């Protein structure tokens, strides 16, 4: 078995590629089933957020490339040069990466708390899809425990900062007094709810919430003193907005260039500030070319976010030490699991020997040897490979007088024959 973490994130891949690799919530369960149906893939979890798409898999030895090939094919990433941006971690490195992700050490905002909930959501979807077994189940339970300890025993969560908070901070730079601004929130998920909380704390008086499901928009707007509209009515209200913050799960943009152009004309060229926190993006990139329009994507928030890192650096060092200890503990369990399952190791070695001998036999046929010659070579070679290691070890056991091993071997190989004879 082999543990693999495979993916791309905001640190290594632009948003244009991340949105192509992203999975929607509706697509993930079906994708999980398809992924574990690939040769050699035993277990799988898919984590897809605005900043990352990652696969966590337990695969058979020799199947390490299956998750990458599946991701490329399933998400139709041909021509994307994805291998240039993709990271792959195995064994302890994969465990360490998951622990770092869940504790917020890999987040755009160091230590942000949202990611742990997203990791739990990915785990729950995999559990519902029945793509978890003991190894990944244990890994994710350890992950939640590590993240909890890091958050409670260090100051990494002090002065919580999120992408939503950063978007509001950026808006404050453009509009000195947010109390006089009209803010349009597009979506009704956790990110938009966080934005609404921060906007309310900044004394925003006019808040509009647009969502595909009007009931969800009304519920969110009601908690923060705003009013709700259906997403289909977005264009009718867009001209009212000084600030637009969008984060939906739509696969295509919900705000287009022409829509914004008409809104700016209706505003008589008063500026409009837009922040797109969604991946895939909610706002067409061409919107940024319009006069009096200021469009920021999630990648553009990095400069503002960097200002909030200093106070968390020492906490991150403490968190790294806790993670290293937890990685060591998990890998001790993982290695013991392998040792306690020698059948898997025996099968892997036998299959490797078979494949090697078969390839050589096929090569003989390709060079013009007869089928009988190829079969004789295959039988002779495979027999030698399968009995070589046991024979050598038994000879060594005999020389050193290891009667326990010799008796165990006798029981292993002779018992079925004797049992047959006794019948």
Which residues form the catalytic set? 50
N- to C-terminal Cα distance for the chain? Answer: 39
3-state secondary structure the chain: CEEEEEEEECCCCCHHHHHHHCCCHHHHHHHHHHHHCCCCEEEEEEEECCCEEEEEEEECCCCCCHHHHHHHHHCCCCCCCHHHCCEEEECHHHHHHHHHHHCCCCCCCCCCCHHHHHHHHHHHHHHHCCCCCHHHHHHHHHHHHHHHHHHHHCCCCCCCCCHHHHHHHHHHHHCCCHHHCEEEEECCCHHHHHHHHHHHHCCCCEEEEEECCHHHHHHHHHHCCCEEEEHHHHHHHHCCCCEEEECCCCCCCCECHHHHHHHHHHCCCCCEEEEECCCCCCECHHHHHCCCEEEEEHHHHHHHHHCCCHHHHHHHHHHHHHHHHHHHHHHHHHHHHHHCCHHHHHHHHHHHHHHHHHHHHHHHHHCCCCHHHHHHHHHHHHHHHHHHHHHHHHHHHHHHCCHHHHHHHHHHHHHHHHHHHHC
CB 113, CB 340: distance < 8 Å:
no
């Amino acid at each position: 078995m082999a543990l693999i973490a495979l993916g791309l994130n905001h640190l290594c891949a632009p948003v244009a590629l991340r949105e192509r690799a992203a999975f929607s919530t509706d697509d993930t369960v079906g994708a999980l089933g398809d992924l574990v149906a690939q040769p050699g893939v035993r277990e799988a979890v898919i984590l897809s957020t605005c900043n990352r798409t990652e696969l966590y898999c337990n695969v058979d030895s020799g199947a390490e490339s299956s998750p990458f090939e599946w991701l490329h094919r399933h998400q139709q990433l041909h021509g994307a040069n994805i291998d240039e941006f993709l990271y792959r971690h195995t064994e302890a490195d994969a465990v360490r990466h998951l622990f770092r992700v869940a504790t917020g050490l890999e987040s755009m905002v160091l230590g942000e708390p949202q990611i742990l909930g997203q990791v739990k959501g990915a785990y729950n979807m995999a559990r519902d899809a029945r793509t978890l077994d003991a190894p990944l189940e244990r890994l994710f339970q350890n992950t939640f425990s590590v993240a909890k300890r890091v958050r409670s025993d260090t100051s990494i969560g002090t002065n919580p900062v999120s992408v939503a908070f950063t978007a509001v901070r950026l808006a404050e730079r453009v509009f000195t007094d947010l109390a006089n601004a009209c803010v349009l929130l597009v979506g009704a998920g956790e990110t938009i709810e966080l934005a609404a909380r921060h906007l309310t704390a900044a004394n925003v008086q006019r808040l509009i919430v647009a969502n595909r499901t009007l009931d969800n928009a009304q519920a969110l707007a009601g908690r923060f003193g705003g009013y709700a509209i259906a997403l289909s009515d977005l264009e009718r209200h867009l001209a009212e907005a000084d600030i637009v913050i969008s984060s939906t799960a739509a696969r295509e943009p919900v705000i287009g260039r022409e829509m914004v152009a008409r809104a700016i004309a209706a505003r008589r060229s008063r500026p409009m500030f837009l922040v797109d926190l969604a991946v895939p993006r909610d706002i067409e990139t061409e919107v940024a070319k319009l006069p009096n329009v200021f469009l920021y994507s999630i990648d553009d928030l990095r400069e503002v976010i960097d200002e909030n890192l200093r106070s968390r650096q020492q906490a991150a060092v403490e968190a790294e030490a806790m993670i290293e200890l937890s990685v060591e503990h998990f890998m001790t369990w993982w290695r013991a699991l392998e040792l306690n399952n020698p059948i898997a190791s025996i099968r892997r070695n036998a299959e490797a020997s078979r494949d090697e001998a078969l390839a050589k036999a096929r090569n003989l046929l390709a060079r013009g040897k007869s089928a009988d010659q190829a079969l004789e070579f295959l039988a002779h070679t495979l027999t030698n490979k399968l009995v070589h290691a046991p024979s050598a070890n038994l000879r060594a056991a005999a020389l050193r007088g290891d009667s326990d091993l010799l008796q165990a071997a006798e029981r292993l190989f002779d018992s079925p024959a004797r049992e047959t004879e006794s019948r």
